[in-house]
Each structure stands twice: as C-alpha cells, then as structure tokens.
C-alpha cells in the first residue's frame, strides 16, 4: 500500500504533466499537494487494504457494536434501483430522506401538504426495520416558489408553526429524530455578531424563530430527538472556527432558556483537498457541546474529491483517509450517537452535480462505488467504528 507521501508524489507527477497544458491550474494544485505533504505525516491509507472489504459484517454492525447508529440519506430515485436498495438494507440501520421532507417537496401550495413521497420512504424503512430521521422542518434553502408572495411579517409565525405542527404530527412517534432547524448560522454571510444567516425567517421573525420552531416540534412529536443541524464545523479555518463559536453560543443560549433542543447535527461535508484539520479543536468543540447535555450526530458525512488527482487509487486513498482521520476524533466523544453519510453509493450522490470534477470524471465521495462494491471509504468507516474506544 502506498504511503500518503508516495501518493502525493504520484499525484504531483500527474499534475506536473497537466501543468504543461495549464500552468496556472497546475501551480494551484501543486500548492495544495505541498500542503497535504506538510500536514499528513501519517502514512496514507497505509494498512486500510489489509482490513479487507469482504467481511460478513456491514457498517451498521460495526456501528452497533460501539453503540452507534450508521445510516445514510437516500431518495426515491436511488431506492427504485434494486441493487442500491439491497446494498442500503445491508449496510444501514437508519434512513434519511434526502429531499422528500423539505418544504419544496411537501408544500405544493400555501394550503396543501403532500406526504406521498415521504410516506413511501417511511413504509420502506418500517418494512425493513430501519429507523428514519426527519430532515428538515426549517431551512431557508428549500422554500417553495410561493413562499415570498404568501408569507409576510403578519403571518410568518403562524405559517411556520402550522407547518411544523402538521408535518411533525403526521410522523409523530415514527421518526428517530428531526433536524428542526438547518443551517441557521452562516458567519461568512452574516452582518450580525451572532452569525445568524440572513434568511427570510430571520428577517420576518427575528432570532426567536429558532426557539419557536423547537417548541412547535416538541409539541407535535414529543418522542423525536430534536436536532439543530449545521455545516462548516470541521476544519481549522477562519470560517469553520467562527462557525463553531457561533453554533456553540447559539446552543448555550437555547439550553439556558430551556428550549427543547436535544442534539447537534454536524453535517460534515468534508473536502479531500482540505488539509487544515485540527483534532484538538474539533475535540474541544465536541466536548463543549456535550457539556451542555446535548447528543451529537454526524448527519451528512461525505468527502468531495473534486480537487484531487484523477487516479482512482490515489483519490480513494485520500478520501478514505479523510474519513478515517475525522471519524477517529469524532468517535472518541461519548456524546456522539450516530454517523450518517449523505448517500451510500457514488451512483447516487448530490456531489455529482454540486461538486463535479473539472476533468469530467465521476466523483467518488461515498462508501460504495457506482456498482455497489465496497471501496476504501467503506473500510475506513468500518475500521474507525471497530477501533473506536467507547
Ligand atoms: C441537498 C440534496 O442532496 C440535493 O439533492 C438537493 O438538490 C439540495 O440539497 N445540506 C443539507 C442537505 O442540509 O439538505 C443538502 O441536500 C446538502 C447540504
């Protein structure tokens, strides 16, 4: 197996070749690769191959042995593919509908609710004894087209609480957890000291929309674990450091007021090319969140390979190492109860359209390849679970 250093040298050779055609691009890439080298002294994916992929246990089994839930996001398109579905049922203990519970999916008009797609996913989950999560009750990015015209300062609170009451009570008692509020904080886009994202909800209702949403969810489904879910919490970068601080402040405020929030969801959309990972900073953040009495879920884990070398072995090694490095830190924290990847197979991943590779090759961010074979990422997750000391 190649060491990370060897892999990067190989990658550099490849990129140097590219450099003849596109010097500026190659310069940028070499810069990134140099950064990899100085950061990752540990051998890259050194003995991951030795762990083997041909094991009888699935990811959900490795997770369960450490008191963790493993699952993934899926959508009706993926679940209409019997090969994907078989793989999903083998590996996962919990399903999260990728889009089917968002406003855009269930609110065709201000007066209508359409639960048909979500109901079908719940039926699949229940038939196969999987848990299901709800994602998400309040998120400004998935609002329907009619929203701006129909919602104003006068009716905003009623529209939001009526939505939560209807949706959360439709599924009451049947979901493991709800992402009640998603991505309320975006420090880079915020003019405010609390980092709140300038969403329609914030504009119409002020910051109290967050607690209002949690109270409404608790009333409609007293059994579900209520989660605040957010992104950019992973790296030692100015953006992520500020985001962690703002999220922690928000959670402290909610808890001190007695708002029924039970857990933090960390999206963990990681980047294979990002080298600024600081285990101590992440650990401290997780400890701080846990000390508020909150559980922690990793809700949307994936690793984009958009800016990695084309060679599949190299790419898979770097992506798998990013998973394992991250999970090794996260799984030390006893408050972490679940790890979900945002998709299971490279065949069905949002990153094909959101983070496509400039060279047009298909992306490889998830545990299974397009043919549902286990990849090094699968091994990295299985081994991180197996070695978790908890
Ligand atoms: C993404 C879905 O995967 C896409 O299919 C959809 O087009 C846009 O949303 N953070 C979230 C998820 O909380 O809801 C997003 O899902 C990915 C980023």
DSSP-assigned letters across all residues of 53-70: S--S--HHHHHHTTT-EE
Ligand 1 binding pocket includes 98 (Cβ within 6 Å) = yes
pLDDT at 44: 59
Q: Distance from first CA to last CA of the chain, Å, rounded? A: 29
Q: How far apart are CA 244 and CA 230, in angstroms?
A: 10
- Write down the pLDDT at residue 48: 86
pLDDT of residue 32: 53
pLDDT at 50: 86
The residue whose CA is least distant from atom 9 of ligand 1 is: 99
Helices (H) and strands (E) in the chain, counts: 17, 9
Quick: pLDDT tens for 33-43: 555 544 443 45
* Of 367, 348, 337, 390, residue with least CA distance to 177: 337
Indicate the top mutation candidate among 342, 347, 355, 356 to test ligand 1's pocket, ranked by most ligand atoms within 8 A of CB: 342
Q: Does 243 contact ligand 1 (Cβ within 6 A)?
A: no
Domain count, the chain: 1
Answer whether 328 contacts ligand 1 (Cβ < 6 A).
no
Give the residue whose CA is nearest to atom 3 of ligand 1. Answer: 350
The pLDDT of residue 47 is: 81
Q: Whose CA is nearest to atom 13 of ligand 1?
A: 182
Tell me the three-class secondary structure of 96-143, residue by residue.
EECCCCCHHHHCCCCCCCCCHHHHHHHHHHHHCCCEEEEEEEECHHHC
Q: 346: domain range? A: 4-387
Residue nearest to atom 7 of ligand 1 (CA): 350
Alpha helices in 237-311 (DSSP H): 238-256, 279-291
Q: With b meaning 16 or more CB within 10 Å and e meaning fewer, what string describes 42-53?
A: ebbbeebeeeee
Task: Please tell me the distance from the alpha carbon of residue 336 to that of residue 331, in angstroms, as a whole number.
Answer: 7
We report the CATH number of the domain holding residue 342 as 3.20.20.80
C-alpha span between 292 and 255 (Å, rounded)? 7
Sequence-ordered alpha helix ranges (H) in 128-228? 147-150, 156-170, 200-205, 209-220
Say if ligand 1 is within 6 A of residue 316 CB: no
Q: Which residues of the chain have pLDDT under 70?
A: 1-46
- What's the CA-to-centroid distance between 54 and ligand 1, angstroms? 31
* Helical packing angle, 209-220 and 238-256, nearest 10°: 60
Atom of ligand 1 nearest to the CA of 179: 13
Q: Is 99 in the pocket of ligand 1 (CB under 6 A)?
A: yes
pLDDT tens-digit readout, 251-298: 999 999 999 999 999 999 999 999 999 999 999 999 999 999 999 999
Contact yes or no for 263/295 (Cβ under 8 A): yes
Ligand 1 atom with the shortest distance to the CA of 342:
3
């Amino acid at each position: 197996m190649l060491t990370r250093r060897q892999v990067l040298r190989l990658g550099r050779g490849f990129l140097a070749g590219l450099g003849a055609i596109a010097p500026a691009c190659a310069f940028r890439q070499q810069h990134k690769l140099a950064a990899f080298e100085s950061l990752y002294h540990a051998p890259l994916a050194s003995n991951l191959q030795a762990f083997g992929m041909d094991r009888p246990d699935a990811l959900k089994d490795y997770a369960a042995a450490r008191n963790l839930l493993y699952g993934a996001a899926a959508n009706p398109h993926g679940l209409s593919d019997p090969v994907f579905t078989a793989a999903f049922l083998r590996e996962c203990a919990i399903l999260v509908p990728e889009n089917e519970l968002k406003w855009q999916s269930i609110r065709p008009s201000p007066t209508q609710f359409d639960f048909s797609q979500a109901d079908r996913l719940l039926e699949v989950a229940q038939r196969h004894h999987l848990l299901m999560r709800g994602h998400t009750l309040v998120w400004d990015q998935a609002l329907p087209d009619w929203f701006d015209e129909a919602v104003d300062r006068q009716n905003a609170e009623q529209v939001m609480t009526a939505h939560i009451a209807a949706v959360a009570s439709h599924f009451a008692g049947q979901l493991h957890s709800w992402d009640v509020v998603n991505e309320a904080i975006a420090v880079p886009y915020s003019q405010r000291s609390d980092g709140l994202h300038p969403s329609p909800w914030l504009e119409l209702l002020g910051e109290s929309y967050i607690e209002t949403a949690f109270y409404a969810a608790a009333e409609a489904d007293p059994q579900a674990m209520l989660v605040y879910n957010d992104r950019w919490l992973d790296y030692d970068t100015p953006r992520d450091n500020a985001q962690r601080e703002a999220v922690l402040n928000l959670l402290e405020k909610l808890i001190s007021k007695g708002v029924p929030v039970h857990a933090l969801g960390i999206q963990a959309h990681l980047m294979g090319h990002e080298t600024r990972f600081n285990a101590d900073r992440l650990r401290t953040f997780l400890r701080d969140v846990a000390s508020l009495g909150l559980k922690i879920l990793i809700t949307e884990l994936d690793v984009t390979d958009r800016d990695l070398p084309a060679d599949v072995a190299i790419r898979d090694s770097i992506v798998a190492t990013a998973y394992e490095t991250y999970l090794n830190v996260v799984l030390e924290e006893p408050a972490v109860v679940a790890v979900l990847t945002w998709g299971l197979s490279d065949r069905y991943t949002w990153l094909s359209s959101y983070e496509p590779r400039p060279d047009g090759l298909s992306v490889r961010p998830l545990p299974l390849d397009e043919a549902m074979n286990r990849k090094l990422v699968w091994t990295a997750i299985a081994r991180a679970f197996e070695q978790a000391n908890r």
